[in-house]
Amino acid sequence: MKRIGIVGVGLLGSAVASRLLARGFEVTGHDTRPEQVMALAASGLRAAKSAADAAAGADAVITILTTPAVVEAVWLGADGLLEAAPKTAVLMQMSTIGPELSRRLGEAAVSRGFRYLEVPISGTSTVVMRGGGTMFVGGDAALAETCRPVCDAIAAKTVYVGGVGDASVAKLAANLIGGMSAIALAEALVLGAKSGVEPARLLAALREAPVRNGTMDTRGPLMVSHSFPPHIRLDLYLKDFGLMLEEGKRLGMPLPLTSVAHQLCTAASAAGHGGEDLAAVITTLEYLAGIKR
């Protein structure tokens, strides 16, 4: 399994493609933004004109797309993957989507003779580029083992979760915890600033405390500097919080903290920060606290 097609080479897709190329895989990539593909050409990525072109001749095809609607269109639409991909290819869905859509894609793939895995990855594009991501795998256990060399080339850890849909739940749960961690840090820094403690000093103190976590290292400096280059865009987290709420509604369970996070990200996005990193949520909390920077 050496020839990999990737549909979607944005921030995360580029990191995944780079990991595979560095480990000797032949990678063909497609994105609706040609500049994303061209940026990887020097590393050996072959440019594809379409999703079908990316899938042609591939041993495995990975989709890394932004929204459930785009995922559904690429998989099930006219000239989509299920129409164009070779039946010998393993179809691997890496986008963050709800478990119900993942199950529906899996059923559609299997009904047409394909092998299907869901392989969402936990970690920002920067973390994945460094080889620090964790991949959650859902689907047939034997197929997951067959595809392990591909997964291990991308992520530091590959964790088999269970059947199709289970890995999507794990990814949403991981993003729930990661998102809450970022929002909690932002609220803590705003509390400090309102009390007269310089954010940089407070962050340095927190990083010496038992509560230290990875968010303080990755997003803490962004919050202090008020510079928000995207590791994961805020709008993508807004989408993810929405997926969590949809799953909670389907299960008949409340997700009160997720609801608040969704509202805060909605406000930050409406204020023009949707394309920036999730760390930009601090701007909404500062506004609510009457802090102007």
Question: What's the pLDDT tens digit per position in 39-74?
Answer: 898 899 999 999 999 999 999 999 999 999 999 999
The pair phi, psi for residue 67, each rounded to 5°, is -135, 160
pLDDT of residue 186: 98
- The 10 Å Cβ neighbour count of residue 53 is 17
What does the alpha-carbon distance between residue 195 and residue 217 come to, in Å, rounded to a whole number? Answer: 23
Q: pLDDT at residue 169 above 90? A: yes
4 strand-pairing partners: 27, 60
Instruction: Tell me where in the chain the CATH 3.40.50.720 domain(s) lie.
Output: 3-163
Question: What's the pLDDT tens digit per position in 197-252?
Answer: 999 999 999 999 999 999 999 999 999 999 999 999 999 999 999 999 999 999 99
Q: pLDDT at residue 84 above 90? A: no
String of DSSP letters for 47-97: E-SSHHHHHTT-SEEEE--SSHHHHHHHHHSTT-HHHHS-TTSEEEE-S--
What does the alpha-carbon distance between residue 95 and residue 117 come to, in Å, rounded to a whole number? Answer: 12
Where would I find the beta strands (DSSP E) of the chain?
A: 3-7, 26-30, 46-47, 60-63, 90-93, 115-118, 121-122, 134-139, 157-162
**Token pair listed for 199:** 């954010």
Question: What's the pLDDT tens digit per position in 259-281?
Answer: 999 999 999 999 999 999 999 99
pLDDT of residue 161: 98
pLDDT of residue 1: 84
pLDDT of residue 219: 96
Question: What's the pLDDT tens digit per position in 87-132?
Answer: 999 999 999 999 999 999 999 999 999 999 999 999 989 999 999 9
- Whether domain 3-163 has CATH 3.30.70.260: no
Question: What's the pLDDT tens digit per position in 2-48?
Answer: 999 999 999 999 999 999 999 999 999 999 988 888 889 889 999 99
pLDDT of residue 293: 78
Q: pLDDT at residue 79 above 90? A: no
**Token pair listed for 208:** 């010496």
Q: pLDDT at residue 75 above 90? A: yes
Q: What angle do CA 86, 11, 143 make, to 5 degrees?
A: 35
63 strand-pairing partners: 7, 93
What does the alpha-carbon distance between residue 143 and residue 90 come to, in Å, rounded to a whole number? Answer: 9
**Token pair listed for 288:** 């609510």
Q: What is the pTM of this model?
A: 0.94
Section 166-177 average pLDDT: 98
Instruction: Tell me where in the chain the CATH 1.10.1040.10 domain(s) lie.
Output: 170-289
Provide the CATH topology of domain 170-289: N-(1-d-carboxylethyl)-l-norvaline Dehydrogenase; domain 2 (1.10.1040)
